[in-house]
Amino acid sequence: MSNERVRCLIIGSGPAGYTAAIYTGRANLSPVLYEGIQPGGQLTTTTEVENFPGYPEGIGGTELMDDLRKQAERFGVEIRTGIATAADLSKSPYKITIDNEKVIEADTLIISTGATAKYLGLEDEKKYAGMGVSACATCDGFFYRKKIVAVVGGGDTACEEATYLASLASKVYLVVRKNYLRASKIMQERILNNPKIEVLFEHNVAGLYGENGVEGVHLVKKLGQPDEERYDVPIDGFFLAIGHKPNSDIFKPYLDTDETGYILTEGATPRTKVPGVFAAGDVADPHYRQAITAAASGCKAAIEAERYLTEHSL
């Protein structure tokens, strides 16, 4: 395995990774960024971004990420294709293995590997990606004003998404696999008292249908029971709210994470418990998961990395 030493290594190419790259590039830290499993991050699966400041008419998700990438390259950031497959954060310089074949030794490391939305695993979810299927109500809810949508899930996140969508859509179906909600009592009350939300207990999603995007959902009530019932419900949008999985597995032996796998940082900073290692964006954010908050945390991580290198004369 070949080794290479860098002052600042950034893993991940979403808003957090690219913003960290812009700041570290401008600070002459000669950063190297590996794009990871999904170049451009989750935003490349979104058609239109309307809530990122500075774009009054909105902008395509892929176009926004291309702009951030060009801005990073302008400041001399070396952007490479590759996936981090192993990590050794036991001592500095920290060792990150790329594609199981190359080891990068880094004086500072910015982890911005993001989180992956959990899907039901239906073929139709891929078929209608960006055409009515979404895993972010805050990102895409606006497009469903006065329309009919379905949300899948029974926890707090699903209830929050359904409540948010009910403020925009004309009707929200909350599809719940079990015969009860797992959400907190206050969230349950909000759902059950909202006239726009209809909870479909003991329902599973069998698929979606539509010509030029989602037009309806195939539902199964009481799956596998003698009184099983199958029927279709017309909808315009289908929202997944069954959780996210942070892409943090290779770092878990060295960093503290919560029970889901989100990397824990010190207070409002991106500092992890390992000096010189910082976490930015969705991999450390179970609460907001927005492009703008990810970008802000990438900025913080870059400033922290610069200070660390200066303090340690690296």
| Active site positions, annotated | 136, 139-140
DSSP 249: G
Angle of helix 15-26 relative to helix 291-311, nearest 10 degrees, comes to 40
Q: How far apart are the first and last CA of the chain?
A: 24
Cβ atoms of 12 and 113 within 8 Å: the answer is yes
Name the residue among 114, 179, 171, 175 with its Cα closest to residue 147: 171
Cβ atoms of 168 and 144 within 8 Å: the answer is yes
- Rounded CA separation 100/91 (Å): 20
Q: What are the distances in angstroms from CA 233 to CA 17, 106, 171, 304?
A: 40, 53, 12, 51
